[in-house]
Amino acid sequence: MTRAFLVNQGLFQLAWPACVIGAANGVFWTGLLVVGALVLWQLNRHNRHPLDLRMIGVCLGLGFVLDTAWIQLGLLEFAMPWPSSQFAPMWIMLLWVSVALVINHSMAAFKNRLWILAIAGGVGSPMSYFAGSRFGAVEWLAPAWQVILTTGLSWAIVLPLLFWLARDDRASRPAAPPEGMIVNETD
């Protein structure tokens, strides 16, 4: 294992407790500090992957929609709901940034193992939300089976999708010409 792998995965592993336990205790700076360190490390020109910024944007957009949906559907309520209790809180968005920054780095080996990611997402996400509830960072408002089914199925789709979107072969291929366009191959 390289130093880059260890730093990336180490900061990723610290992000969850820093954000979740921090939110449970009304403290935002712990998550900001850890995820900020991950961002500085990964977006450094020596460590950055060409798709990192794109994946941060995708994860932030998808994460905002998904975690806001849990609130709007009456499934979950988050502690420290800044900036609004009606939307995914900032500390959850920090976790999405941390996910974005391991996809092309310490967890890149899973880009071609999407079924493993589907299983991990389907099982791991309800466990993560449950652990967060035990710390006091999230409250399950709906019956447990609804929260488990909804978050599990969603993450079973979302996690492999994120890794599929980050596959290098998709980014390095030249764009195909629009259908019906005649391409002169003699130029």
Segment 140-184, tens digit of pLDDT = 999 999 999 999 999 999 999 999 999 876 444 444 544 554 545
At 171 the pLDDT is 47
Contact present, 19 and 95 (Cβ < 8 Å): yes
d(Cα 95, Cα 18) in Å, to the nearest integer? Answer: 10
Apex 21 CA angle, 144 and 139, nearest 5: 25
Confidence of residue 3 (pLDDT cuts 50, 70, 90): very high
* Domain extent listing, the chain: 3-171
d(Cα 96, Cα 101) in Å, to the nearest integer? Answer: 9
Q: What is the pLDDT of residues 26-35, one digit of tens each?
A: 999 999 999 9
Q: What is the pLDDT of residues 67-126, one digit of tens each?
A: 999 999 999 999 999 889 999 999 999 999 999 999 999 999 999 999 999 999 999 999
